[in-house]
Amino acid sequence: MTEAKRTGLFDLHQELGARMVPFAGYDMPVQYPLGVLGEHRHTRAKAGLFDVSHMGQVLLRPVSGNVEQAARALETLVPADLIGLQPGRQRYGVFTGDTGGILDDLMIANRGDHLFAVVNAACKDADIVHLGRLSDHCSVEEVTDRALLALQGPAAAAVLSALVPAMRDMRFMDVDICDSDWGPLWVSRSGYTGEDGFEISVENARAEEFARALLAHDDVEPIGLGARDSLRLEAGLCLYGSDLDDTTSPVEGNLAWSIQKVRRKGGAREGGFPGADRIVEELARGPARLRVGLLPEGRAPMRAGTPLFGEQEDTDPMGQITSGGFGPSVDRPIAMGYVKTAHAALGTPLWAELRGRRLPVTVAELPFRPATYKR
Amino acid sequence: MKYTEDHEWLRDEDGLIVVGITEHAATQLGDVVFVELPEEGTEVAKDDEIVVIESVKAASDILAPLDGEIVEVNEALADNPGLVNEDALGEAWFFKIKPSDLSPMEDYMDEAAYREFIG
């Protein structure tokens, strides 16, 4: 086994009393002394600080100097309208494979003369190799000298703007480079909790100092991967590797919204990405299965892998849960998973098999808790 | 008090054995959000999985430490599973068992041995 990698905040996590676990090749904090429930609730009530430095930060610089060249090139790997992505704006997308499955999901920002992408930790090495296909059009540079922090929750904007006044006018999915006492910060008003908040890339050398400045505020607590998972599940957001994988198309994954019209059938730049045949067809005709929200009846959490049945007596499952657990802010078990499209309508009663028993579960709207983004 | 390698504590209460999990186990589990208890009157065999505990992280089982009959369960845990984190050794007992065979008790650890066991 190779030694787990450490982020620039490893010492701080230890000092804060984090319990560290291996995650995507890194030693990461799963929880701090506040505990998963407390951290979850604190993020929804005030502000939580997350170390997401394990994620990949990638710069795509166009050979010509014109960002449209990089956007056009990336459109060959990502079914999204990237040429139409305005400077200072960010958008969600997925890398698709030749059979239409998802290789990773990512955020893509237009920073005027280049693109900046944030990809999942577990996929980043493969993503960078994959992006190498674009080398005739843009250089691909993994950023290894910067940490990535997320500050999430209703108090995030007040906390951050006191320290970094330059971010004051940003709205949801804006990106900017803000001067600060900790050097230039690459800020986006986004996150993965359903809360208003920010993701902030900061030089490794200044990261701990910056994190301490944020944590010095009474409203800010450090938050581990445990609460990050329950927050994103309540927000109806996918975890790559659990809810999405290389067999799942973005249409099945209920991510069709991330494929703008211009890339669909009849659009000006229809198709032209890996797996387009399957995906364009599914967009037009509907997929065979769909990711849906699920509300288990009763108090027992239903976790990933739980099989789903259309009828209580059915012998063969027609779907399964891919993420599930307890939602602290909705105070009940919640889950999401894949079901055959015929069973995907809101309110459809289904059955889940838990410890040998069939228990009722209902198809429900996502997110479980409305997002509070500042649009 | 006796302790099992599965981090259960067993306390003799006038011939009934009260069973819970240790503070060490509760800390390792993290915040408990769901507890499923057996029915009173159930006959159990040692090592049967009779309680399900779900924390924010994972599901785990509690095994019957002895053969016998479940004579009482702690219904308070169904309404307030967080008791397991607040008072593992007291209020958060899981069930009382009327043992039909007490001999495994001799193999279970005393407190000093348990402390050594968890290091």
What domain range includes position A182? 10-55+145-234
**CA separation for the pair A196, A124 (Å, rounded):** 26
For chain B, say whether A357 makes contact (Cβ under 8 Å).
no
CATH class of B2-99: mainly beta
Dihedral sign, CA of B91, B92, B95, B100? negative
User: Would you say residue A309 lies in a domain?
Assistant: yes
Domain membership of residue A268 (yes or no) is: no
Q: Judge: B30–A31 Cβ closer than 8 Å, yes or no.
A: yes
Give CA–CA dist A83/A105, Å, rounded.
Answer: 18
- Above 80 in pLDDT, residue A29? yes
3-class SS letters over B4-60: CCCCEEEEEECCEEEEEECHHHHHHHCCEEEEECCCCCCEECCCCEEEEEEECCCEE
pLDDT of residue B57: 82
Which of A226, A299, A355 is facing B57, going by the closest CB pair?
Answer: A226
Confirm whether A249 is domain-assigned: no
* Domain end position, chosen among A234, A256, A276: A234
Domain boundary pick from A201, A217, A234: A234
CA distances from A138 to A23, A57, A76, A80, B74 (A): 31, 16, 13, 18, 64
Q: For B61-83, what is the mean pLDDT?
A: 96
Q: Are residues A294 and A211 both part of a single domain?
A: no
Calculate helix-pair angle for A156-163, A204-215, nearest 10 degrees: 120
Asked if residue A166 and residue A38 are part of one domain, the reply reads yes
> ipTM surpassing 0.95, yes or no?
no
A304 part of a folded domain: yes
Among A202, A234, A266, the domain-final residue is A234
- Among the listed residues A223, A258, A318, A280, the one whose alpha carbon sits nearest the alpha carbon of residue A33: A223
Bridge partners of B92, per DSSP, are none
pLDDT confidence of residue A3: 83
Tell me, yes or no, whether A49 and A173 share the same domain.
yes
Q: What is the pLDDT of residue B59?
A: 87
- Radius of gyration (Cα) for chain A, nearest Å? 21
Mean pLDDT of B5-16: 95
CA distance A36 to A40: 6
Residues A213, A327 within the same domain: no
How many helices (H) and strands (E) in chain A? 8, 19
Examine the domain organization and report whether A226 and A345 are in the same domain: no
Partners of B31 on chain A (C-beta within 8 Å) are 35-38
The per-residue pLDDT for range A170-183, each reduced to its tens digit, is 999 999 999 999 99
Number of C-beta neighbours around residue A305 at 10 A: 11
Shortest alpha-carbon distance between residue A328 and chain B (Å): 9
Mean pLDDT of A101-120: 98
Same domain for A185 and A326?
A: no
Domain ranges of chain B: 2-99
Give the best residue of B23, B33, B55, B79 to mutate against chain A (max A CB count within 10 A): B33
Q: Give the pLDDT mean for A95-123.
A: 98
**Neighbour count for residue A91 (Cβ, 10 Å):** 20
Beta carbons of A174 and A186 less than 8 angstroms apart? no
Average pLDDT of the segment spanning A92-113: 98
Chain A residues whose CB is inside 8 A of the B54 CB are 300-301, 326
In this prediction, residue A2 has a pLDDT band, given cuts at 50, 70 and 90, of: low
pLDDT, averaged across chain A: 97
Q: How much of chain A, in percent, has pLDDT values that exceed 70?
A: 99
| CATH code for position A36 | 3.30.1360.120
Mean pLDDT of A29-49: 97
Task: State the sign of the Cα–Cα–Cα–Cα dihedral A49, A153, A252, A59.
Answer: negative
Tell me the per-residue pLDDT of A302-344, one tens digit each, with 9 for 90 and over.
Answer: 999 999 999 999 999 999 999 999 999 999 999 999 999 999 9
pLDDT score of B40 more than 60 = yes
Q: Can you give the pLDDT at residue B19? A: 97
CA distances from A61 to A58, A111, A178, A337 (A): 10, 10, 20, 37
For chain A, where are the alpha helices, taking DSSP H only?
Answer: 10-15, 35-45, 67-74, 124-131, 156-163, 204-215, 225-234, 276-285
A184 with A309, same domain: the answer is no
Q: What CATH number is associated with residue A339?
A: 2.40.30.110
Within a domain: A332: yes
Average pLDDT over residues B60-84: 95
- Residue A368 pLDDT exceeds 90: yes
Give the distance from residue B9's alpha carbon to the nearest chain A alpha carbon, in angstroms.
Answer: 24
Q: Residue type for A162, please?
A: A
The verdict on a CB contact (< 8 Å) between A35 and B85 is: yes
Confidence band, pLDDT 50/70/90 cuts, at residue A1: low
Same domain? A292 vs A375:
yes
Residue A119 has pLDDT above 60, yes or no: yes
Which tens digit of pLDDT belongs to each residue from A245-289?
999 999 999 999 999 999 999 999 999 999 999 999 999 999 999
Find the distance separating the first CA and the last CA of chain A, reported in whole Å: 45
Average pLDDT rounded to a whole number, residues A97-105: 98
In chain A, the number of structural domains is: 2
Average pLDDT over residues A225-230: 97
pLDDT, residue A168, reads 86
- Is A31's Cβ below 8 Å from some Cβ in B? yes
Q: Which of B61, B21, B69 is nearest to B45 (CA)?
A: B69
